[in-house]
Amino acid sequence: MTQQHVWLKMLLLFTLTLCAGILIGFSEIPATQPRTASKQVVYNAKAVLEQITLQEPMRHENLTLYMLSAPDEMDTSDVITLEHAMEIGKLKVIETSNVNKLAVVNESDKTVFIHAGDIVRGGKQDRTLAHDMLIPPKSDPIPVDSFCVESGRWAQREGESTSYFSRSKNMLNDNDAILNARLRKSQQGVWRSVKNVQSRVGAALETDVQAPASLSSLQLTLENQELNDAAKLYANALRAAATRYPDTRGFIACINGEVYVAHLYASHKLLIDIWHKQLNALAAEAISQSANKKEFEQAKPEAALVFIEQFDGIKGNAEIIDKAMTLHQYHTKTAVLLESITQDTNACLHASFLLKPKHFDKAAHEPPQQMMIQRRNATIPTPSPQSHSEQSPQQ
């Protein structure tokens, strides 16, 4: 073989390797890497209900709340929310150029609670964070699973940074979106849910709630002035529900007379810290389901408790989220229970009971969804000394 042939062979090999790398880097890949279920678990709803006292209902329009009293399960006095940590500039959410993976750095001396479904505004696309997480104080960059809630943008928006996210004022309001992110890990499913929410809210308010700055952004829809004006009426009527009793730890929410969702937190403080965000999400969902104006019978207390009781004895799977948190997943015919369990103390940080959307089980048997094209190599960057509120994006 001549030297010329050797060089031609090496050049061909290099070209094939380079092309393969490009195809792999830009092909559709699963939204998140699947985690192996560590063990089977069984839910003891009777033990949970023995600790719970159901408070008298509070109602505004088509939204009724049954608040839940129970002794604290965890000491969360040293925990602050993602929203608060970002507001005081002590937690950075970093754009990695991977749609389904961001990074967070906690610069505070407090533990930061990321609530599953929290939406972060900015970066190259607004994202929702998939799982409950506890970010330790003074942390290095920690990867977090995320899903895009703004399909039509991958660039700077109106002076926002593309390197960092600016704030987290809202969370997902729609069960379908939550389950697509947390269970199905489906980016396409989340996008469909976002479009559905925008359509329902627009129909209920009889106005266009898609923002000109980004028509596909759920975050900007949730900032719509008409929606916020309507949501304030719900918030003003129901805000006091969380503080009527000093041991309130959760709630069961009914929309149009049907139990829609229930949440139980590890402590009264944790509920209070997240309450305004949860209440805004509940109001947005109630408004989105108010277009038909049909009369309905109020859900009775017994029906509210059955929503939790139905999981008694149900077998589920445990999925390790990170070194601090395990996700327990349970299904019945009509609902899903997601429990975030701390690995060190085996305490329940947060339990979400969600009514299954129509056709949810059918959708679960569709071929696995894929995330959108990964735009660049997705590495976890080391944050620069530059403030997370910077205005000049890194290109």
Nearest one of 254, 74, 102 to 168, comparing CA atoms? 102
Distance CA 253, CA 238 (A): 11
Per-residue pLDDT, 364: 53
3-state SS assignment for residue 67: strand
Top-confidence residue, 366 or 286: 286
Residue 228 lies in a domain: yes
Distance CA 122, CA 390 (A): 11
* Cα dihedral sign, 205-285-240-117: negative
Residue 100 lies in a domain: no
Residue 234 lies in a domain: yes
Per-residue pLDDT, 97: 94
Residue 152 lies in a domain: no
Per-residue pLDDT, 127: 98
Domain count for the chain: 1
Average pLDDT over the chain, rounded to whole?
86
Q: Which range, of 30-44, 148-162, 215-229, averages the lowest pLDDT?
A: 30-44
Per-residue pLDDT, 291: 84
Residue 190 lies in a domain: yes
Residue 167 lies in a domain: no
Per-residue pLDDT, 19: 39
In the chain, % helix, strand, coil (3-state, to 5) comes to: 30, 30, 40
Q: Is the pLDDT of residue 75 over 80?
A: yes
3-state SS assignment for residue 195: helix
Q: Is 159 left (phi over 0), alpha (psi -120 to 50) or beta?
A: left
Residue range 30-48: mean pLDDT, rounded:
72
What is the residue range of 344's domain? Answer: 37-78+175-364
Q: Is the pLDDT of residue 44 over 90?
A: yes
Q: Is the pLDDT of residue 13 over 60?
A: no
| Amino acid letter, residue 347 | A
Per-residue pLDDT, 132: 98
Per-residue pLDDT, 371: 42
Q: Which range, of 8-22, 59-73, 170-184, 201-215, averages the lowest pLDDT?
A: 8-22
3-state SS assignment for residue 94: strand
For residue 29 the two structure tokens come to: 């890949």
Per-residue pLDDT, 362: 59
Nearest one of 142, 223, 182 to 338, comparing CA atoms? 182
Using 50, 70 and 90 to split pLDDT, how confident is the model at 358? confident
What DSSP designation does 152 have? T
Per-residue pLDDT, 102: 98
Residue 201 lies in a domain: yes
Per-residue pLDDT, 8: 45
Contacts of 82 (CB under 8 A, 6+ apart): 91, 112, 113, 114, 115, 118, 120, 129, 168
Residue 315 lies in a domain: yes
Residue range 326-335: mean pLDDT, rounded:
96
Per-residue pLDDT, 381: 47
For residue 75 the two structure tokens come to: 């000491």
Per-residue pLDDT, 34: 45
Per-residue pLDDT, 217: 97
The β-bridge relationship of strands 315-320 and 79-81 is unpaired
For residue 107 the two structure tokens come to: 């610069």
